């Protein structure tokens, strides 16, 4: 086999595992043409779905639940780590007291992706569960849980934070920061005891801060409708002040870019870590006025917010529905519950965040 003399101290190189020191790029280019660069990792895993793409010579470990990765031959891996999505905030209907507020969308889980050299050894994979949405038993929404890869001492731990919980109508301080921030709940301007500032504001993403950023901010609520949760690819939308008080859309997620599009979709992987939509509100128009869709739309795994009008509602029907859950193993935030306008004293639960996911790939 041809050898580029002088490109490694001691001997020429004919495989990626020969060791030594390169002093020119030509040898690496030569080995790449032979599909022998970057160094070929040998690995096995527990708790993962393993797929090999013979066209690209890449091996993928898809962790939907916690497990381990065992590396028996060192080299370069690529990782994508997504934390669990935040739960959506609860909506409330209490028209006799003047309160009719919607819950904010949950933030998408933190999204971190990159390449790193791994030594031989066992790596612990932790998949963060999605946070619970606000409900009548626990009105405050929950943040999603962190996802992480932890290895030997020299490797340390790489963590993606869980998404922030969306604001709940019954708790002015419930909106939370996280991988992406939760959306702010709404307030009723005719209900004077509301703390309007705390109710309205979406919370920051990329908490704790890392570079590049793992997420974005939640959107703000307005009047009867709530803000959308932030996503890995963009901020959550603000609620819109129209007759229907439309909830803010969830922030965009990010695409898993290592796998080519066709192969990615065959594995059921596309965009990840989108924000949940903010809850909408009934515009207060009695039937026979037509129902208006007022929910914020969740994106890329995030759940839709609840509509102020249930679809096809009749005069005696309940106006208002819960937020949708974030999609499983996407890190999507839960949708916020709607405000609605009957029956009095009704809570409309926020959706639960979707569990996170970790994907590890390398040449073989």
Quick one: three-class SS letters along the chain?
A: CCCCCCCECCCCCCCCCCCCCECCCHHHHHHHHCCCCCCCCEEEEECCEEEEECCCCEEEEEECCCEEEEEEECEEEEEEEECCCCCCCCEEEECCCCEEECCCCCCCCCEEEEEEEECCEEEEEECCCCCCCCCCCCCCCCCCCCEEEECCCCCCEEEECCCCCCCECCECCCCCCCCCCCCCCCCCCCCCCCCHHHHHCCCCCCCCCCCCCCCCCCCCCECCECCCCCECCECCCCCECCCCCECCCCCCCEECCCCCHHHHHHCCCCEECCCCCCCCCCCCCCCCCCCCCCCCCCCCCCCCCCCCCCCCCCCCCCECCCCCCCCCCCCCCCCCCCCCCECCCEEECCCCCCCCEEEEEEEC
How many C-beta neighbours within 10 Å does residue 29 have?
Answer: 11
Instruction: Give the mean pLDDT of 294-315.
Output: 67
- H helices of 57-210, in order, are 196-200
Of these ranges, 282-296, 302-316, 326-340, the one predicted with the greatest mean pLDDT is: 326-340
pLDDT reported for residue 133 = 94
Q: Measured in Å, how far apart are the chain's first and last C-alpha atoms?
A: 21
pLDDT at 12 over 80: no
What percentage of the chain reaches a pLDDT higher than 70? Answer: 70
What is the predicted pLDDT for the residue at 108?
96
pLDDT at residue 356 tops 80? yes
Instruction: Pull the structure tokens for residue 226.
Output: 């709530």
Given a cut of 60, is residue 263 above it in pLDDT? no
Structure token pair of residue 134: 């606000």
Least confident of 24-28, 218-222, 322-326: 24-28
Of 113-117, 226-230, 312-316, 333-337, which range is least confident? 312-316
What is the pLDDT, as a whole number, of residue 197? 53
Minimum mean pLDDT range among 246-260, 274-288, 322-336 = 274-288
Rounded to a whole number of angstroms, the CA Rg of the chain reads 24
More confident residue, 100 or 271: 271
Using 50, 70 and 90 to split pLDDT, how confident is the model at 188?
Answer: low
Q: Is the pLDDT of residue 95 over 60?
A: no
pTM of the model: 0.84
Residues 6+ apart with CB under 8 A from 53: 59, 60, 259, 263
Q: Which residues of 287-305 are buried (b: 16+ CB within 10 A; e: fewer)?
A: eeeebbebbbbbbbbbbbb
Mean of all residue pLDDT scores within the chain = 79
- Does residue 191 surpass a pLDDT of 60? no
Which pLDDT does position 339 carry in this prediction? Answer: 80
The tens digit of pLDDT for each residue in 148-157 reads 999 988 889 9
Q: What is the pLDDT of residue 67?
A: 97
Residue 38, pLDDT above cutoff 60: no
Q: What is the model's pLDDT at position 171?
A: 62
Q: What is the pLDDT of residues 228-255, one digit of tens each?
A: 999 999 999 998 876 667 889 999 999 8
Task: Give the pLDDT score at 51.
Answer: 87
- Measuring CA to CA, which residue among 179, 185, 111 is closest to residue 145? 179
If residue 49 lies in a helix (H) or strand (E), which one and from where to where? strand 49-53
Strands 75-82 and 67-73 come out as unpaired
pLDDT given for residue 11 in this prediction: 43
> What pLDDT score does 22 carry?
46
């Amino acid at each position: 086999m041809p050898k580029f003399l002088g490109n490694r101290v001691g001997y020429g190189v004919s495989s990626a595992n020969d060791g030594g020191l390169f002093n020119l790029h030509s040898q690496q280019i030569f080995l790449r043409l032979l599909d022998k660069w970057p160094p070929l990792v040998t690995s096995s895993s527990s708790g993962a779905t393993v797929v090999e793409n013979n066209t690209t010579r890449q091996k993928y470990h898809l962790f939907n639940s916690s497990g381990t990765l065992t590396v028996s031959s060192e080299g370069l891996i690529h990782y994508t780590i997504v934390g669990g999505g935040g739960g959506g905030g609860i909506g409330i209907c209490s028209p006799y007291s003047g309160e009719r507020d919607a819950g904010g969308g949950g933030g998408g889980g933190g999204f971190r992706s990159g390449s790193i050299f791994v030594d031989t050894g066992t790596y612990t994979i932790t998949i963060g569960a999605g946070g619970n949405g606000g409900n009548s038993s626990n009105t405050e929404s929950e943040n999603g849980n962190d996802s992480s890869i932890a290895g030997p001492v020299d490797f340390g731990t790489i963590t993606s934070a869980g998404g922030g919980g969306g604001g709940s109508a019954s708790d002015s301080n419930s909106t939370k920061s996280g991988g992406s921030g939760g959306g702010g709940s709404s307030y009723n301007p005719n209900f004077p005891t509301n703390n309007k500032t705390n109710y309205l504001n979406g919370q920051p993403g990329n908490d704790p801060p890392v570079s590049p950023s793992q997420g974005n901010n939640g959107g703000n609520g307005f009047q009867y409708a709530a803000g959308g949760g932030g996503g890995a690819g963009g901020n959550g939308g603000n609620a819109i002040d129209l007759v229907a008080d439309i909830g803010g859309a969830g922030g965009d997620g990010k695409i898993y870019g290592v796998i080519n599009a066709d192969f990615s979709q065959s594995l059921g992987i596309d965009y990840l870590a989108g924000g949940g939509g903010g809850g909408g509100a009934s515009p207060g128009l009695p039937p026979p006025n037509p129902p208006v869709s007022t929910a914020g739309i969740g994106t890329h795994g995030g759940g839709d917010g609840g509509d102020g009008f249930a679809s096809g509602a009749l005069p005696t029907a309940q106006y208002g529905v819960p937020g949708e859950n974030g999609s499983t193993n996407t890190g999507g935030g839960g949708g916020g519950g709607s405000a609605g306008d009957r029956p009095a004293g009704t809570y409309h639960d926020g959706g639960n965040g979707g569990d996170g996911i970790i994907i590890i790939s390398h040449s073989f």
